[in-house]
Amino acid sequence: MTKTVVITGATSGIGEVAAFRLAESGARIVIVARNQERAIATHNKITRSNPHVDHHFYLADLSKISEMKRVATEIAAREPAIDILINNAGSVYMDNTLTSDGLAPTFATNHLAYYVLTLMLLPKLRNVNSAKIICTSSRAHRYVPFNFDNLQRNGILGYAQSKLMNLLFIRRLSQLLGTETITVNAFHPGFVASRFADNTTILWRSLMQVRKRLFGLSPEQGAQTLLYLAQSSEVNDQSGHYYVHSHREQPSVRACDDEDALQLWKISEQMTGVGFPML
């Protein structure tokens, strides 16, 4: 039976590789993208690799709460069931830019979009056995103390804190899912030479480009743990965990704090108006 995979951040980097490889394996791919031209190019690529199913794409700016909700509503209306949800879209902004909601776009895109899309699509994930939710986090989560008084960060510290939020999010969600057959896990892809940070200042962008050339993994290499979590039966009963190089790894102590996970959940619910959908 054909699996339906919904993936954000699939028009470049590890997301595009994962979308292409999963399509090759027979999956039907549903993309959420910000840029129409790149969405069409990726859609055409995966259609050529697997022309036997109806792949689809949606356009949304996942830094805006209204857009998160709109696209989640559209997907839920069109898709009767979702086998895998991959929250992969991410960004880093180096200035004090705010969204139309008055939020730091790093925080909104990297955390709130994961929260909103996951909870609004959860009923569709419940319609299949052994559904999977996969979130792209980062080892950067280890390098910042969590600060509830400064959630609205951009820059490197804001990015690192948002990756810590990803782990607190999957921790709380796995607890709420309890004995349901849906699993939720996160992973670190490594330092990947992708479009990441290309939207930043000239100085920072130049420094990142040099680092990518010297130390960056290829998107194909960076996508391996994501593909492992999506395809391996070994993780069908594993939930609330963090993976590196396709193996479970213990995250930071702060990422395992149940009180922080609960407080972040409450703040996210208050900001978005989206709560956990009960059975």
Catalytic residues: 159
Round to whole Å and give the CA distance between 46 and 117: 23
Residue 48 tokens read as 């050529």
Task: For the beta carbon of residue 96, count every other beta carbon within 10 angstroms.
Answer: 10
Strand 84-87 relative to strand 183-188, pairing: unpaired
Task: For the beta carbon of residue 57, count every other beta carbon within 10 angstroms.
Answer: 19
The region that residue 251 occupies, defined by phi over 0 for left and psi between -120 and 50 for alpha, beta otherwise, is beta
**Are 47 and 229 within 8 A, CB to CB?**
no
**Are 29 and 8 within 8 A, CB to CB?**
no
